[in-house]
Amino acid sequence: MIYIARNADVIPQKILEVALRAQEELENLPIDKRKNYIKSKSHIWRGFAKYLSKMSHGKCWYSEAKDAGANFDVDHFRPKSEAKRSDGLVDEQGYAWLAFNWENFRLSAQNCNRLNRDEDSEITVGKGSWFPLLDGSKKATWDDRCTNDELPLLLDPLVKNDLDFIDFDDRGLFVKSFFCVGLQARRIRDSAVIYGLNLERMREARFAAMKEAKDLYETIQISVEDLDVQGDQASMKAIVRQIEMLKAKTRADAAFSRAVRVQLQKLGASDLFIDRNMDAA
């Protein structure tokens, strides 16, 4: 998961105005007409997809996956139709008033947004309409839109502090860090399941990116040792190229760059190998 610094300036005014008009119409509808109206206007939030993509360098905001051949969904962080709080509790109205509010949109890989069955664990994962709240949290409604007072269980890529203590193990699994305990540990564990962040295909892709970075770092170390012996200019240029290749894997526009950075930090790699020039935050 990556922090996203949203930028309304990349969204054309026409797109924002269409969403605003839909919101104004929605506000005047009786409760029994809202769901069908929202469903009929799905093209509105889909129209934001490419602009949300620009904000994350073409990566899913939840998984950090980047695949030119994949379709991305525009997820409503707070579900627009119904909000599933637990296996036995569903708020039928959800957060209908946020259906056209682009600040509620998150760019999501379909595997994160849609329900999938994890063949290894036989657990159904994917966000779907899930939006659990922590115990004691206030709950926003159409008549009391106190979303700022809610305490969501799910990690939010728009909240920097939510991303503290995220780690990746040596198999490429999205996990909590060793020092993370209590409520935040629970949020990380449950978010990994609900967002499908450890589906086998996702784990394999993340692990491959981490392994490539580790292998390249070890190659650079060997090259440096050889340079001490040979000391020729060609070897030095080769090392510089290898360093630039490694730094490219840590850029904000590279798939799984957060996991790669964590891997390098565990290897004791200095910031020489981490490129922060394109960071979203």
Q: What's the total number of domains in the chain?
A: 2
Q: Are residue 185 and residue 210 in the same domain, yes or no? A: no
pLDDT computed for residue 71 by the predictor: 76
Do residues 51 and 153 share a domain?
A: yes
Instruction: Provide the pLDDT for residue 50.
Output: 94
Q: Alpha helices of the chain — where are they, by DSSP H?
A: 13-27, 31-40, 42-46, 49-55, 110-113, 182-194, 200-230, 233-248, 257-266
Residue range(s) defining the domain that contains residue 250: 201-273
Residues 208, 192, single domain; the answer is no
Rg from Cα positions in the chain: 21
Alpha carbon distance 252, 56 (integer Å): 8
Q: For each successive 10 residues of the chain (281 residues), what is the average pLDDT?
A: 93 98 97 96 96 95 80 94 93 96 96 81 84 97 97 97 95 95 96 94 95 94 76 80 94 94 90 74 42
43 lies in the same domain as 13: yes
Q: Is residue 127 part of a domain?
A: yes
Exposure letters 206-243 (e unless 16+ CB within 10 A, then b): bbebbebbbebbeebeebeeeeeeeeeeebeebbeebb
Cα–Cα distance between 158 and 177 in angstroms, integer? 20
- 135 and 248 fall within a common domain: no
Q: Would you state the pLDDT for residue 244?
A: 94
The reply to whether 115 and 30 lie within a common domain is yes
Report the C-alpha gap between 31 and 96 in whole angstroms. Answer: 10
| Other CB atoms within 10 Å distance of the CB of residue 50 | 14
> What confidence score (pLDDT) does residue 278 get?
63
Q: What is the pLDDT of residue 228?
A: 65
The dihedral built from the CA positions of residue 68, 52, 36 and 111, taken in this order, carries a sign that is: positive
Of the chain, the end-to-end C-alpha distance in Å amounts to: 13
CA distance 60 to 247: 21
Residues 151 and 22 in one domain: yes
DSSP letter (8 states) at residue 1: -
Residues 210 and 74 in one domain: no
Q: Find how far residue 119's CA is from the centre of its chain.
A: 22
| Tens digit of each residue's pLDDT (9 = 90 or more) over 24-58 | 999 999 999 999 999 999 999 999 999 999 999 99
Look at residue 281 in the predicted model and tell me its pLDDT.
42
CB count in 10 Å sphere of residue 170: 11
In this structure, are 97 and 144 located in the same domain?
yes
Which residue, among 239, 217, 215, has the nearest Cα to 227 in the 3D structure?
239
Matching residue, tokens 């664990």: 121
Asked, for residue 281, whether it belongs to a domain, the answer is no
- Residue 148 and residue 240 in one domain: no
